Structure 1
Amino acid sequence: MSNISNKYNSAKTWQIGLFALNNTATNVIMCAMMYLAVFSQNILGIAAVVIGVAITSMRIFDGITDPIIGYLIDKTETKFGKYRPFMLIGNIILLITVYLIFGFVPTLEQSMRFPVLMGIYVVYVIGYTCQTACTKAAQAALTNDPKQRPLFSLFDAIYNAILFSVSALIVTSILPPMFAEGYESGMLNPEMWKTMAIIFGLGSFILTVLAIIGISGRDKKEFYSVGSKAVQVKFKDYWPIIKSNRAIQMLVIAAATDKLAGNLASAAKIYLFGNVLMNVALQGEMGVITTPVTIVITIIGVRYASKLGQKKAFVAGTWLSMLMLFAMLIIQPFDNVSMTSINLNTILFLSITILQGAFMGISGNIVIPMIADCADYEASRTGKFVPGMMGTLFSFVDKLISSLSSTLLGIGLAIIGMANAVIVPNTPADTKFFWLIMGCMYIIPIFGHIASLVAMKFYPLTAEKMVDVQEKLAKIKSEEETA
């Protein structure tokens, strides 16, 4: 008879560290796609509102693929494991489709660009779902130790801090001068975007290979099942999860509202730097300072989560991020911000921006291991270990809500009369454009945080509750072994 107290399947730290690169790999692609609205409007000649509405509408298709992929993951057992085949296939689809979007579509006749772009985007969605679903689903197999699960957030936050600063540096500072000849800005040269797609695609593939190595030792049946008995997974199992699992309900609301606001801010960030601060290159230059500060704050946040639970870390990060957003709106230190001429506004803008991003990173990065908690909670309730379904159920609602960011930005630009304008970097924003940027960057994210805090009031998986969940799962396995 196994010892029930020995209820944790702990992973090696290097396995967690390498597997976290799977999320980084998809985030590399996401970093490229964050510029889709700008690219479409300035290069393809397609209004931002049209792209925004089209991409949001595409989420209906995306919503169909999520449960299908989750179902297939939970049903899959191969000699290469459950997750690795989906990770590899998904990433290959991503790097091909991203290159086609940024490298091939601009070569088409104007009338063909929009329909071809949408066709490629359909395939892109399938690849993205395959790989991102594994990031969430494999968490439960990676480790069930509550002291270890926040480690994923630590690695993920460090990788993302480096990625977001480096990617912004590449797109706003490194590539534009290389492609500026004959253009007002290198960002108006189609060749710059094709080069970006190649760099980001290859980077994503390398990270995916490393993540596959990381999960290989845990991608085995003994780590992704409650016991030895096979669980029959059916599509009808989704409804009981939606109806009865309060944890995933509240986590979806909290994370999706934050992600909607975060995506909107990310999409508008290039306008903040290029049309408010009048220094588009500053977006990339800030990464030199942002990255180490984010890493330090994340380490503190992960230690907090390991001791007091992931829920408390999420709530603390959200509160602190919201305070920074309020501070930026009140102070508005946007005049004469420069890395070469340090003044009070520069210090205030950099400090608030860096701290807000780091605090938001704590709550944002800890969501993925919280999904694993929800999967374990479901297994303790029903005996069904369905991390694929849990992860893609989360993704379905999360992406459906967060996809509205493209539409909101496009509608905002249309309302102020800039739907079809070529928005040249380093040209000043008028009053309407300024307040649209403020709304996207600070006001809407505040409301997103408020919604998250309300949802967390009803999220049941405290640190104490997760101890009970793991004890119950250990008891189920023990009873199977002695039966």
Structure 2
Amino acid sequence: PDDTFSNPAGVAVFIIIYFFYIIGYTFASCVGNMEGNILTNDPKQRPTIGVWQVIYSYLSPMIVSMLITVILLPRFGTPYQLENGATDYSWTIEVFQWANLIVVGVSLVALILTCIGLTPYDKPENFEGIKKDAKPSFKEMFSLLKDNKELQRFIVAACSDKLAQTVGSQSVITTLMFSVLLGSMVGSSIISVVAMLPSIIFAIVGAKLAGKQGNRKVMINWTWVCIIWNVLFIIFIMVVPEKGASSMGIPLVIFFLLMLGNNAFKMVVSTATGAMRMDVVDYELYRSGHYLPATVSAVYSFIDKMISALAPMIATLVIGIVGYTGSRIPQASDELTIGIRIITAALFCGLPLLGWALTLVAMKKFSLTREKMEEVQASIDSQKKEIEQAENEEEKSQAK
């Protein structure tokens, strides 16, 4: 095995590279999260923009995961025989090395496409507040974080949505779910990807609903759907026969339907979350006259990175309860115990349930309904016209 990063010098190199990655990722995320406000201020159109963000955030990891499990794992993994005679594969360092190359390559292409797409909109007039040439100060940014209650509630909802997306997708959890419990890492991964494709339709449905009903209402209603569905998923995890989805049968069909619904319903919530971030930016402009999309995006990016960093740590700590400590990681050949069932259910469904409960609490007093956002946009347009008219009159008087 490659021991490049097992010595102090290797660790130092990794930390330095990762440090620069975090800086670049933060700047790129801030810019990427601002484009919705720049492209449109129509509450009906914003969820449609969010559709593409949601599709990318769900579909790209799924495609990369399928490439890894269907192509890299059989080629570089360690083969072993299942009880039914089929062949599956265990993870090796070579699999992770090639997987990293794929992820970095895909990320580079996506970053280049982002730069090309944003270039036509990178103009000073797209970043102005109520008053032209107004520069945001640190005091105004701090006021946004301290006084904008809607931002604070959005942060709670965004945290929970990110948690629901991230924790269950950790490799140790998918190994417990797909290999140890269901019986086939490759087969279950293919099923989960196939289940993802039809669920993309729900991202479009979510955008349509959010445009008509408002982001708050859609988030509340579909969060309840996610909660109910994941309770059913927990029941399935606790009662499905060991290796029950390793071949065609009722358990495999049920698993496919549960994955399909889980992906679809979470997409609706994620679509509303993305559009809600744009609403919070405009609400701050309405509330204080300050246009601070970068600050809101920075806060969201910080949350995104924090949850992304916490997710593997949470997963690693929890699986330690059932004996996966030190260098021991879940493998498909491991014996299924009741403890593994409980841990899998808790991480794959339980933590998202906790996050969705927090979302419902945060949304209870969230005031940015569809009607409120129409009022906000009308007020912003009116204030801009009044100031523009006053500036024009001042210029005319100075000319005289």
Give the TM interval when normalised to the shorter protein. 0.7 to 0.9
Task: From 261, 269, 275, give the equivalent of 1:369.
Answer: 275
Structure 1 residues 271, 330: closer, same or farther in 2, change over 3 A? Answer: closer
8 Å CA contact 1:141, 1:219 repeated in 2: no
Bigger drift between 217-226 and 398-407 goes to 398-407
**Structure 2 equivalent of residue 294 of structure 1:** 199
Cα drift, residue 161 of structure 1: 4.1
Is residue 344 from structure 1 mapped to residue 250 from structure 2 by the alignment?
Answer: yes
**Structure 1 equivalent of residue 208 of structure 2:** 303
The CA distance in 1 between the partners of 2:6 and 2:259, in whole Å, is 41
Which residue type is aligned with residue 365 of structure 1?
T
The CA distance in 1 between the partners of 2:321 and 2:77, in whole Å, is 31
Cα drift, residue 430 of structure 1: 2.6
Cα drift, residue 371 of structure 1: 1.1
8 Å CA contact 1:257, 1:401 repeated in 2: no
Cα drift, residue 227 of structure 1: 4.6
* Paired residues for 1:389-428 under 5 Å: 389-400=295-306, 403-420=309-326, 421-428=328-335
Cα drift, residue 212 of structure 1: 2.5
Cα drift, residue 466 of structure 1: 0.5
Is residue 378 from structure 1 mapped to residue 378 from structure 2 by the alignment?
Answer: no
Cα drift, residue 168 of structure 1: 1.7
**Structure 2 equivalent of residue 7 of structure 1:** none
Work out which of the two has the higher radius of gyration on C-alpha atoms and give 1 or 2: 2
3-state secondary structure, aligned to 1:147: coil
* Paired residues for 1:135-146 under 5 Å: 135-146=32-43
Which residue type is aligned with residue 128 of structure 1?
Y
Cα drift, residue 255 of structure 1: 1.5
**Structure 1 equivalent of residue 175 of structure 2:** 270
Bigger drift between 416-425 and 321-330 goes to 416-425
1:259-317, Cα deviation, whole Å (9 max, x unpaired): 22432211122321122112111343124532332122222211111111112222222
Is residue 258 from structure 1 mapped to residue 176 from structure 2 by the alignment?
Answer: no
The CA distance in 1 between the partners of 2:102 and 2:233, in whole Å, is 34
Task: From 339, 342, 357, give the equivalent of 1:432.
Answer: 339
The CA distance in 1 between the partners of 2:224 and 2:23, in whole Å, is 35
Is residue 444 from structure 1 mapped to residue 351 from structure 2 by the alignment?
Answer: yes
Structure 1 residues 156, 283: closer, same or farther in 2, change over 3 A? Answer: farther
* Paired residues for 1:5-404 under 5 Å: 106-180=3-77, 188-227=91-130, 229-267=132-170, 268-332=173-237, 334-335=240-241, 336-338=243-245, 341-400=247-306, 403-404=309-310
Cα drift, residue 428 of structure 1: 3.0
Bigger drift between 132-141 and 453-462 goes to 132-141
3-state secondary structure, aligned to 2:185: coil
Cα drift, residue 367 of structure 1: 1.8
Structure 1 residues 458, 403: closer, same or farther in 2, change over 3 A? Answer: farther
Structure 1 residues 346, 283: closer, same or farther in 2, change over 3 A? Answer: closer
8 Å CA contact 1:139, 1:372 repeated in 2: yes
8 Å CA contact 1:158, 1:294 repeated in 2: no
Cα drift, residue 395 of structure 1: 2.9
Which residue type is aligned with residue 239 of structure 1?
F
The CA distance in 1 between the partners of 2:329 and 2:197, in whole Å, is 35
The CA distance in 1 between the partners of 2:182 and 2:284, in whole Å, is 48
Is residue 469 from structure 1 mapped to residue 366 from structure 2 by the alignment?
Answer: no
Paired-residue identity, %? 26
Which residue type is aligned with residue 53 of structure 2?
D
- Structure 1 unaligned spans of 5+: 1-42, 45-105
Is residue 459 from structure 1 mapped to residue 352 from structure 2 by the alignment?
Answer: no
1:145-195, Cα deviation, whole Å (9 max, x unpaired): 112101122222333443233122112121112223799987643333232
8 Å CA contact 2:220, 2:360 repeated in 1: yes
Structure 1 residues 202, 405: closer, same or farther in 2, change over 3 A? Answer: closer
8 Å CA contact 2:129, 2:291 repeated in 1: yes
3-state secondary structure, aligned to 1:171: helix
3-state secondary structure, aligned to 1:319: helix
3-state secondary structure, aligned to 1:423: coil
8 Å CA contact 1:226, 1:476 repeated in 2: no
Structure 1 residues 392, 359: closer, same or farther in 2, change over 3 A? Answer: same
The CA distance in 1 between the partners of 2:175 and 2:31, in whole Å, is 31
8 Å CA contact 1:334, 1:349 repeated in 2: no
8 Å CA contact 2:59, 2:196 repeated in 1: yes
The CA distance in 2 between the partners of 1:264 and 1:139, in whole Å, is 27
Task: From 363, 378, 389, give the equivalent of 1:482.
Answer: 389
Structure 1 residues 453, 297: closer, same or farther in 2, change over 3 A? Answer: same
Structure 1 residues 223, 269: closer, same or farther in 2, change over 3 A? Answer: same
Cα drift, residue 441 of structure 1: 0.7
Q: RMSD over aligned Cα, in angstroms?
A: 2.5
**Structure 1 equivalent of residue 85 of structure 2:** none
- Structure 2 unaligned spans of 5+: 82-87, 391-400
Structure 1 residues 337, 218: closer, same or farther in 2, change over 3 A? Answer: farther
8 Å CA contact 2:168, 2:349 repeated in 1: yes
Task: Normalising by structure 2, report the TM-score.
Answer: 0.86
Bigger drift between 195-204 and 295-304 goes to 195-204
8 Å CA contact 1:162, 1:291 repeated in 2: yes
3-state secondary structure, aligned to 1:286: helix
Task: Normalising by structure 1, report the TM-score.
Answer: 0.72
8 Å CA contact 1:280, 1:426 repeated in 2: no
The CA distance in 2 between the partners of 1:162 and 1:411, in whole Å, is 28
The CA distance in 1 between the partners of 2:89 and 2:13, in whole Å, is 25
Structure 1 residues 318, 126: closer, same or farther in 2, change over 3 A? Answer: same
Which residue type is aligned with residue 44 of structure 2?
K
